[in-house]
Amino acid sequence: MRFTSRTSSDGVSEQLFTLGEIPGVLWTPDGATGTRPLILLGHGGGQHKKAPDIVTRARRFVAECGFAVAAVDAPGHGDRPTDAEYDRIATENQARVDAGAELAPLIAHFQALVARQTVPEWRAVLDAVQALDHVGPGPVGYWGVSLGCGLGLPFVAAEPRVRAAVLGQGGVLTAAEAAARVTVPVEFLVQWDDERVPRAQSLALFDALASAEKTLHATPGRHGHVPAFEVESTMRFFTRHLV
């Protein structure tokens, strides 16, 4: 793990790093020492580790909850090189959609493919970040919607350090099998007018989660949006389960 920059503002330190080929960012409270809960934020499709929503969320989690927060670029996103194979599939999928194919199954298949790469990557990131003195081996939360849900479900299912997860804006096609292996508490965010994820598939994914404690929060609006009060709800959700 190699740190490439460190900045600080409003009490929050931001450290850019690379772990092998993976570019990432770690936010912690200024002057933090000792173990604390860690939230891994998974960004959406076409976004990256420092997309505005990710940064805003990360800074609030650090400033208001005292958590450490990490985000990394998914393959083919942000500072990572384009991936010829993923690009080829994305181009083919777009052509299929233009020809009238249904979008959801294509997204599902693609995300399952990428997750085979990101699950071990994210576990390696957890290993490295939790080895730092100001993060340590505390409980871990995962926050990811849309692509961050598609990649996050297999990760949450596989990684026992994750004790609570915010997921959503994904359909059951994406990860029904992974969802059935998720047993930690989940707050599941739905956009009621999601133009990318059919509502019935979204509700079916919530149904498929094996978690004894799960809550679905649905608000009007299109794909990608999360109202501020529901972001605040996820902060309390993590505080309830990780602190």
Footprint of a second copy (CB under 8 A): 190, 192, 203, 206-207, 212-220, 227, 229-230, 232-233, 236-237, 240
The amino acid that residue 82 corresponds to is T
The amino acid that residue 138 corresponds to is G
d(CA 188, CA 168): 5
- CA 229 from chain centre, in angstroms, equals 19
Cβ at position 55, least distance to a second copy in Å: 24
- Collapse the DSSP code of 144 into the 3-class scheme (helix H, G, I; strand E, B; otherwise coil) and give the result: strand
Where residue 102 falls (left for φ over 0; alpha for ψ -120 to 50; beta otherwise) is beta
Cβ at position 79, least distance to a second copy in Å: 35
The amino acid that residue 217 corresponds to is H
- Going by the DSSP 8-state scheme, the letter that residue 40 receives in this structure is E
Q: Toward a second copy, which CB reaches closer, 134 or 199? A: 199
CA neighbours closer than 13 Å in the CB half-sphere of residue 153: 32
Q: Toward a second copy, which CB reaches closer, 118 or 191? A: 191
Q: Toward a second copy, which CB reaches closer, 143 or 237? A: 237
Cβ at position 181, least distance to a second copy in Å: 17
Cβ at position 217, least distance to a second copy in Å: 5
- CA 159 from chain centre, in angstroms, equals 14
Q: Toward a second copy, which CB reaches closer, 69 or 235? A: 235
Q: Toward a second copy, which CB reaches closer, 158 or 203? A: 203
Q: Toward a second copy, which CB reaches closer, 143 or 206? A: 206
Cβ at position 13, least distance to a second copy in Å: 29
Cβ at position 239, least distance to a second copy in Å: 11
Q: Where would I find the H helices in 43-171?
A: 52-65, 84-98, 103-130, 147-150, 152-158
CA neighbor of 58 nearest in space, from 25, 98, 19: 25
Tokens at 149, concatenated: 């849900």
d(CA 16, CA 25): 4
Q: Toward a second copy, which CB reaches closer, 112 or 226? A: 226
Cβ at position 41, least distance to a second copy in Å: 22
